[in-house]
Structure 1
Amino acid sequence: MRLNEITYNNAAPVDGYGPGFFRIGGQVFEGAVLTGPSGTIAWGGYSDTAPLLDLSEVVDVLFIGTGADLAHIPTDLRTSLESAGIGVEIMNSPAACRTYNVLLSEGRRIALALIPA
């Protein structure tokens, strides 16, 4: 088996998650978070659109983790993101974390917004 070292550039991978928290790049964040090429910050949830729209120049796809279960996001949020040229993928938070890590390791231009379980 051949093993390759993974380089994540400026973005950090999701190391773990649990009830109410995410561990990203070795640091624990309580509550909702946004992570990507600009680092990791607390996120105010679906109504906090400004930091998501600021990603339009640096990412192609935003993964939104909706908590323990898959849920719809507000239609106006999806419309705003897509109008800004950001692809949107919705999934539960554990699946979003796994998908983000895989695509991040491939050097993709992605970000991740997460609601905790």
Structure 2
Amino acid sequence: MTGIVIREAHFPGRAPIEAYGNGGFRFADMSHRGSILCLPSGIYGWEPANPDTLGVDDFARLIDEAADIQILLVGSGPMLKPIAPDLRALLKEHGISADPMSTGAAVRTYNVLLAEDRAVAAALVAVE
């Protein structure tokens, strides 16, 4: 008999975000505590090194799927925070347009673009 197996948080599909707040998100009739990365391959639990200053290393998984992404919405918490110049340059190099905004605005915009079947991804920092 084995002990509890902790698996990486991953929902294998695209789904609109039903709710956010209280430190997490609801989607596909499930909930996740913490930040999330919404990619073409699914929704992943995401732990940026420092949510206040997102860096290149926080987006390695996204870059792996860059060919399927045209727009990245960066929900930086309760307030808009600019994207670091080196991160913006990396995204541009991969043909991805990055739009920083508050997490609430990013969730709403993601849901609209997802409904339009656009090549969108979202990096969403959890808010209380």
Q: Confirm or deny a common fold (TM above 0.5).
A: yes
| 1:67-114 deviation per Cα after TM superposition (whole angstroms, max 9, x unaligned) | 011111222111111111111111100000000101111111101110
Q: 2:18 aligns with which of 8, 15, 19?
A: 15
Amino acid corresponding to residue 33 of structure 1 in structure 2: I
Paired residues, number: 108
> Which is further off, 57-66 or 19-28?
19-28
**Normalising by the residue count of structure 1, what TM-score does the alignment of the two structures yield?**
0.85
**Match for residue 51 of structure 2?**
none
**Match for residue 42 of structure 1?**
45
RMSD: 1.3
Q: 2:30 aligns with which of 27, 30, 35?
A: 27
| 1:1-48 deviation per Cα after TM superposition (whole angstroms, max 9, x unaligned) | xxxxxxxxx411000001210112222111111013211111232241
* 3-state SS, counterpart of residue 52 of structure 1: helix
Identity among equivalent positions (%) equals: 40
* 3-state SS, counterpart of residue 48 of structure 1: helix
Higher-Rg structure is 2
Q: Detail structure 1 runs of 4+ shifted over 6 Å in the superposition.
A: none
Q: 1:51 aligns with which of 61, 71, 80?
A: 61
Check conservation: 1:12, 1:36, Cα contact below 8 A.
no
Counterpart CA distance in 2 for 1:76 and 1:50 is 13
Counterpart CA distance in 2 for 1:69 and 1:44 is 18
Counterpart CA distance in 1 for 2:45 and 2:92 is 22
Please list every run of 5 or more consecutive structure 2 residues that lacks an aligned counterpart in the other structure. 1-12, 49-53
